[in-house]
Amino acid sequence: MYVVTVLFEVEPASAESFVNRVRRQAEDSLAREPGCQRFDVCTNPDQPERVFLYEIYDNREAFDAHLASGHFKAFDAEVAPITRVKQVDPWHLDES
């Protein structure tokens, strides 16, 4: 399994709307992408401008399909103006 973690830091005034939008993105990814197995949105009550995503895909190709999807491109363009930091890290789920 291919795991992706994403740490966002957004404009504090936009934190609530960002979380609502990223939750919709998670729902879209799970519903529209057969290779997307998990998409968790994690928030920090003490730092609402920081949002952590934990995503699991069947493989790298499934993640690449996610990045190429229209719903991802729309999400990415919509949140870009309020995003201060976006750190994306790939991982391999060790299932041994």
Domain that holds residue 74: 2-92
Q: What is the CATH number of the domain that holds 63?
A: 3.30.70.100
CA angle 28, 69, 29 (to 5 degrees): 20
pLDDT tens per residue across span 6-53: 999 999 999 999 999 999 999 999 999 999 999 999 999 999 999 999
Please tell me the pTM assigned to this model.
0.93
pLDDT at residue 95 in the model = 81
Q: Please state, in angstroms and rounded to a whole number, the distance separating the CA atoms of residues 57 and 3.
A: 6
Q: Which of 22, 89, 29, 21 is nearest to 65 (CA)?
A: 29
Q: What is the pLDDT at residue 88?
A: 97
Report pLDDT digits (tens) over 50-73: 999 999 999 999 999 999 999 999
How many angstroms separate the most distant Cα atoms in the chain?
A: 43
**Helix, strand, or coil (residue 38):** strand
pLDDT given for residue 44 in this prediction: 93
Domain count, the chain: 1
